[in-house]
Structure formats: structure tokens, C-alpha cells
Amino acid sequence: MMRAWIDTLFAFSTTLRNVGRRRVTEPLPWKRLRAHPERYRAGFALTDDEHGEVACIACKACENVCPSGIIRVEGERRESPVTGKKRAYPVSFVLDMNACIFCELCVQVCPSDAIRMRTAWTIPGTSREDQVLTLERLRANAREGHLSWATPGRLRAMQDPERKNGEGGEP
Amino acid sequence: MVDAHPSHEPVAPALVEVSGLSLPAAITHLPRPDPYLNVEDYEPEADAMALNMGPQHPSTHGVLRLKLFLDGEICFKAVPYVGYLHRGVEKLLENRTAIQSVPYVDKNDYVSPLTGELALVMAYEALLDVEPPPRAQVLRTILMELQRIASHHLWLGTFCLDMGGALGGGSSVFLYNFRERELILDLLEALTGQRMHYNALMVGGNRHDVPPGWEEKVLATMDRVEDRLAEYEAMTVDNHIFRSRTVGVGVLDPLLALEAGAGGANLRASGVDHDLRRDAPYAAYGQVDVRIPVETAGDCYARFLVRIAEMREAIRIVRLLVSGIPEGPIGALKPPRHVNAVKLPPGEVYVGIESPRGELGTYLISDGSPIPVRVKIRPPSLHAVSLLPYLCVGATVSDIVVILGSLDPILGEVDR
């Protein structure tokens, strides 16, 4: 019986030692103790190409690969007002974040470096409809920034079996 | 005075030969209760009562329902009910291509998702006859061992939480273990971009390479984890109350464990020296000399000792490998650009790996179409749950909580 008390007190001495240690919990939403790494994947954005037009070419690669089937892309071919060349543009791009599993496969397969994930991990909203991202909201997300490191091109360069040593590993 | 435990005795335990295996004599051929006992036939000494433990019970570690038939406080029959977390993962995988299916298996064993990914990816690689490059193999091994430490941290925390307040007050050990688990999740987050459902592997290699400075962070974290692990050992290993709750409780006959297909620490705590990392090396385990801790007492305390030793061994393997990751690519195949990028040949394979809970296997049948015809996942936790009707008989309700915790089942994996 005495032994049990001694062992319990000894265990409590470890607890006391931990009282003085630095706090590791984060007092959200007031303060974050550490930033998410650059590869963190939370939201989505559709980036623009070098002419200021949406880079998406509505090829439906992301729609086909998405395991949850939450992406719907409708496209049409038209002439670019900037370059005058004809290519496909998305008419509507709907991404339902309610069922997203954040697997990054849409970024993995995108041929035109259009879709990227974001490190902004708060996705506020008051209804389920707020979590459905449209083409306009996705482009606004890209302008707002907080984009993850991984672009489709960087990801595939990192995974390339013929890449040279030390290439494509950063950050 | 602390009771002697076989694992602390210098004398080697007596062994008995059973079909080519040397098993500890003291716990082999134990009398086995009848799991199909008719409750009507049982004559209780005290008041008989049926007690439902779970599915919403904090110590069932998920949604397991245990129907206990009690004679006073002693259980004379236990029936586990599983399936509350059934998501039809195997059927889902039979409708997905090789690229799409990896994120799904993350959700099976949500405490160690990377091992689930590796089991599936290795099955596809065996079917395709693809060998990942050395850098990917070493990286995979490091990831698996980091995941093992994180998984055992969560187990140790919840196990001590079940034990009650004698270990430094209420949920102390639980919270400390989560603190250290968080450090390892930070490492995995820096590498893959996610904290839990990584999608870190793909057929033929890894999806992510090491970010700059990651190796130093791993070594610093290992130092800290090892330092803190000594604290938890000091709180538990010789703690009188911890020992009186675990020593001699839930003794598992090695023959029963083998018959039930139990694996991992549950099997090794009963004196069966079996570990796929050493016996059938995969990834880069052939390059390191994996030391397998084995205990011979078969009780909850022995399972606890095996898991603590496994954590130390995992730290050692990570330290060995992380300083010498070979240069080169991380993938053997072209990075996928569309959903059907991996073409499956017809055939069938089985691949088993050592997850923190035991042998995690994937059985795959393909007829040559892009999606497999049949995917079967062999979850080690299901086999651990199947031991409960034997181990719970003769134990009190408070002991059943400890027995269940010591088997470390993850119900997401049991129900799939």
C-alpha cells in the first residue's frame, strides 16, 4: 500500500516537471505558434496564365481522377481576346469542398499548371453552399495568395524517374 | 513489494516444442473458455447480468460493442459486435484505378495511415513487377518507422488513460504522448503536406521528396522523443498500481494467438518470434538489422513492454537510415498525368507488411482492366478483436478495459 503511494507521488513529480515546460497547444483563433509548412494542402485555387487569363483548359483530367467525384468542369473553345489563339476555356468549374479528401490528385494530373492547393486552412462559411467553390471563387482564391508549394509541374518534376540528383526537392 | 514478473527474471523461461516452434511453457496449452457458451446453461454464483460496453464508450477506442455476460463482476461470456464503422472500402477500391485508390486506404487504420498505403501500393507494384528506386525504398522505411512511433505514442497514451489517475494524475500520460506524437506529425506534414491522410505513396515510388533540412529535424525530434520516452517508462514500468492492473491480466496463449492470426506486439508478447520486417524484408528493411523484442509472459504488461521496446527500436532504425538516404529519383514510373496511367496486367498477388498492429495484407485480383476485380484487405486489428471472447472470460469489467487497450485494435480497420 505504501509502495503504491510512493509510486503515485513519483509519477506526479513528472507531472510537476511538465508544468514548467513550454506550452505546445495553440490558443486559436488568437495566436498561432507555428506556420504550416509550404506543402500544406487545405483549400483550392485556379491560377491565371501569363496573359492574365484562367490557365485551365477544361480537359477534365481532374474531374476524372478525383476519387470523391466532387469536381465538375464544363468548357468551350473560343478565341483568346489577348493572344488571338483558339483554345478551350472553362465555362463553369465547380468544386464541392464538403466531400473533398485533400488527396492532391487533381494537382497531380493537371496538364496546364492551373489548379493548386492553398495553405489557408480556415474555410469559413455559414452553410453547405458556402463550401462549394465556383470558377470565380477559385480565381479569387488564387489572387488572394497563400498558395501551396506544389504546382502540377513541380510535383511531376519531383517524381520524375529521370530527374538529376538534388533537383526538384525544394522546399 | 512489487510482484516478480517473468520478464524481469534473469532465468530463461521453460520452453515447450509445439509443431516446430519453441513456446513458453507457462502460458502454452492454457484452458480455453467456450466462446459459444449457451448463457441459459450457465449457473451463476452471484447475480447474472448482461452488460453492453460500447459502441459509445471511451475505452473501446472507436465504435466496438462488447456484450458482456457477468456473474457478479466476473465476465463468463463476451461477444464483440463489429461493423459500426463499415464504409465498404474494399468495394470502393474495386471501382477505382490504382492512382485513385491510395487515399482511401488512409482511412482504414487512421492511427497509422502510411502502413495501409504501403500495403496497397506494394500489392500493385508486385502485380506490375515494378521495383521502386533505392531512395524511395529508404524514404518509405523511414516513414513507416516514424508512423510506428506515432502510432505507439497514441496507444501508450490511451492505454494509460484507461488505467486511471494513479499515473501522474488523470490524463497526464495521455496528453504528454499526444504532445510527442504531434512532433512526428509535424515531420510528416513538412514532407507530405498533411497531418493524417497523407496520400504520400504512389505506385512505383513516393509522391514527395524530402524538403531541405528535413533530416536534421528528424534527428532532433528523435532525440526529444527518446528523452521523453524515458520519462513515461519511469512513470509506468515500475509503478505499483500500473503493474497490479496489468501483470497477469489477459494472458494470451501463443497457440490461441497463432490460431486466431494475431500479429504484432500481441503475438510477440506471447513468446512467438515473428516479424515480417525481419522474416520477409520489404522496402529497405533488408539493409538494417531489425531487432525484434520478444516477451514470454503473454499478459497486458508484456504487450506493453514489447511496444515500448518497439518504439526504441524504431527510433534506432530512423537514426540509422536518415543520415544515409541515397541520392536519385523517388519514382520508377512516369508521374501519372491521367486517371488510367497505371495499366494492370492480369494476375493475383498477396502482399503482407508489418503494420504497428501486426500483419497488414492486401490481396489483389486483376483481369487486365484498369480497375482490380477484387481487393481484400487483411486487417490485423480484426484478428486482435477475435481474441476478446477468450481473453475476457474470467476477468472483471475493469480488467476488460485494460485487456482491450493492450490489444490495440483500430476499429476503422476492423470494419473497413
If contacts are CB pairs under 8 Å, which of residues 17-76 in chain A contact chain B? Answer: 17-18, 24, 34, 36-41, 61, 64-65, 67
Q: Which of A15, A168, A170 sits opposite B169 (nearest CB)?
A: A15
Is residue B134 one of the residues assigned to a domain? Answer: yes
Question: Which residues is A44 bridged to in the sheet?
Answer: A117
For position B223, what pLDDT does the model report?
A: 92
Interchain CB contact of A105 with B (< 8 Å)? yes
- If one counts every other C-beta atom within 10 angstroms of the C-beta of residue B316, the result is 17
Residue spans of chain B under pLDDT 70: 1-11, 58-60, 165-170
User: What pLDDT does residue B326 have?
Assistant: 87
Q: How confident is the model at residue A164 (pLDDT cuts 50, 70, 90)?
A: low
Tens digits of residue pLDDT in B52-83: 887 877 666 778 888 999 988 889 889 999 88
Q: Provide the greatest CA pair distance for chain A.
A: 89
CB A67 within 8 A of CB A106: no
Directed axis angle between helix A2-19 and helix B172-192, to 10°?
A: 40
Q: Which of A14, A105, A161 sits opposite B331 (nearest CB)?
A: A161
d(C-alpha B40, C-alpha A50), whole Å: 79
| pLDDT confidence of residue B316 | 92
Instruction: Give the residue from B267, B246, B261, B253 showing the smallest Cα distance to B391.
Output: B253
Do residues B321 and B142 make contact, with C-beta atoms less than 8 angstroms apart? yes
DSSP SS3 for B348: strand
Residues of chain A positioned with their CB less than 8 A from the CB of B204: 161
- Res B115: pLDDT: 92
Q: How far is CA B124 from CA A27, A32, B102, B198, B337, in A?
A: 44, 41, 10, 18, 18
Distance between CA atoms of residues B286 and B330, nearest Å: 18
H/E element, B74:
strand B74-81
Sign for the CA dihedral angle at A30, A33, A37, A38 comes to positive
Q: Report how many domains make up chain B.
A: 1
ipTM for the predicted complex comes to 0.82
In this predicted structure, what is the pLDDT of residue A165?
56
Query: Which residues on neighbouring strands pair with residue A89, listed in sequence order?
Result: A76
CA gap A82, A84 in Å, rounded: 6
Is residue B260, in this structure, part of any structural domain at all? yes
Q: Is the pLDDT of residue A64 over 60?
A: yes
Q: What is the pLDDT of residue A4?
A: 78
Q: Could you report the per-residue pLDDT of A14-31, keeping only the tens digit for each?
A: 778 878 887 777 777 777
CA max distance for chain B:
69
Residue A171's pLDDT band, with cuts at 50, 70 and 90, is very low
B9 lies in some domain: no
Tell how strand B347-355 and strand A115-118 pair up: unpaired
Give the mean pLDDT of A109-120.
Answer: 88
Are the Cβ atoms of A158 and B209 closer than 8 angstroms? yes
Q: E-strand spans in A21-156?
A: 43-46, 71-79, 86-96, 115-118, 132-133
- Kindly state whether A104 is in contact with chain B, defined as any CB-CB distance less than 8 angstroms: yes
- Judged by CB atoms closer than 8 Å, whether chains meet at A103 and B103 is answered as yes
Cβ contacts of A127 within 8 Å, gap of 6 or more: none
| Helix (H) or strand (E) run with residue B311 in it | helix B300-322
Residue B62 lies in a domain: no
pLDDT of B309 reads: 92
Q: Give how far Cα A139 sits from Cα of A95, A96, A115, A127, Å.
A: 12, 15, 10, 21
Q: Lay out the sheet containing B347-355: strands in order across.
A: B347-355, B358-366, B374-378
User: Are B234 and A14 an interchain contact pair (Cβ–Cβ within 8 Å)?
Assistant: yes
Question: How much is the pTM?
Answer: 0.87
Distance from CA of A134 to the nearest CA of B (A): 23
Mean pLDDT over residues A100-113, rounded?
90
Is there a contact between A46 and A55 (Cβ–Cβ < 8 Å)? yes
C-alpha distance from B190 to closest chain A C-alpha (Å): 5
Which of A24, A148, A162 is nearest residue B193 as measured by Cβ atoms? A148
Residue B163, domain CATH: 1.10.645.10
3-state SS of B137-159? HHHHHHHHHHHHHHHHHHHHHHH
Using alpha carbons only, give the angle B123, B128, B130 rounded to the nearest 5 degrees: 90
Q: Exposed, middle or buried, B389 (CB in 10 Å: 0-12/13-18/19+)? A: buried
Range of the domain at B117: 89-415
The residue written with cell numbers 506490375 in the block is B128
List the domain boundaries for chain A: 38-157
Angle at B248 between CA B242 and CA B252, to 5 degrees: 120
Buried b / exposed e across A61-99, counting CB within 10 Å, b at 16+? Answer: bbbbbbbeebbebebeeeeeeeeeeeebbbeebbbbbee
For domain A38-157, the CATH architecture is 2-Layer Sandwich (3.30)
Q: Is residue B344 a part of any domain in this protein? A: yes
> A104, B193: Cβ pair inside 8 Å?
yes
Report phi then psi at B353, rounded to 5.
-130, 165
Q: How many CB atoms lie within 10 A of CB B369?
A: 12
Angle at B294 between CA B289 and CA B297, to 5 degrees: 175
Closest CA relative to residue A9, chosen from B167, B288, B355, B215: B167
Q: Say if B303 falls within a structural domain.
A: yes
Name the pairing type of β-strands B65-71 and B74-81.
antiparallel
Please state the length of chain A: 171
Q: Quote the cell numbers at residue B211.
A: 524538403
For residue B65, being part of any structural domain is answered with no
| Residue located via cell numbers 520452453 | B15
User: What pLDDT, on a 0 to 100 scale, did the predictor assign at position B2?
Assistant: 45
Q: Helix (H, G, I), strand (E, B), or coil: what is residue A76?
A: strand
Interchain proximity B338–A65, CB inside 8 Å = yes
A108-128 average pLDDT score: 86
